Amino acid sequence: MTDDDLVFKALADPTRRFLLDRLFVRDGRTLTELESELEMTRFGVMKHLRVLEDAGLVVCRRSGREKLHFLNPVPIRLIHDRWIDKYTERQVSALADLKNELEKTG
């Protein structure tokens, strides 16, 4: 399976999308926190998190005894940049435009 296949497979499941949504709202959660919001066994949630990790959509970090789960948007970004930006080429003048925008509205 290619990296993209892993991402699409991981996203093709409502529980896994729910987990990503929870991490989007608040990042760096433990398994216990994530599990508490799902009607599912701890083992079941672990399996889903494992699929998300394998696809690179979740990255873990140890903090003392805790394992914290973070949403990693890069794999989706890679798909976006390759498949979508190709068709919507546009100028990104980065922070300079942000500054101008703020000065206009500020």
Partner 1 sequence: MTTMTDAVTTQMYRVYIKATPEAVWTAITDPEWTQKYGYGGRGEYDLRPGGAYVGYTSPQMREHGAPDIAIDGEVIESDPPHKLVQTWRMLMDEDMAAEGFTRLTYEIVEISGATRLTITHELEGAPQLAELLSGGWEDRGAGGGWAWVLSSLKTLLETGEGFTH
- Contact between 85 and 76 under an 8 Å Cβ cutoff? The reply is no
- Name 42's Cβ contacts closer than 8 Å, sequence gap at least 6: 31, 35
Residues in contact with partner 1, shown as a per-residue x/- string from 63 to 92 under the rule CB under 8 A: xx---x-x-xxx-xxx-xx---------xx
The encoded tokens of residue 37 equal: 């919001």
Cα separation, 61 vs 66, in Å, equals 8
User: How many residues lie near partner 1 (CB under 8 A)?
Assistant: 32
Which residue, 41 or 63, has its beta carbon nearer to partner 1? Answer: 63
Residue 68 in 3-state DSSP?
Answer: strand
21 touching partner 1, by CB under 8 A: no
Interface residue with partner 1 among 2, 12, 88, 93 (CB under 8 A) is 93
27 touching partner 1, by CB under 8 A: yes
- Contact between 59 and 70 under an 8 Å Cβ cutoff? The reply is yes
20 touching partner 1, by CB under 8 A: no
Cα separation, 48 vs 30, in Å, equals 14
48 touching partner 1, by CB under 8 A: no
Residues that bind partner 1 (CB under 8 A): 3, 26-29, 56, 59, 61, 63-64, 68, 70, 72-74, 76-78, 80-81, 91-102
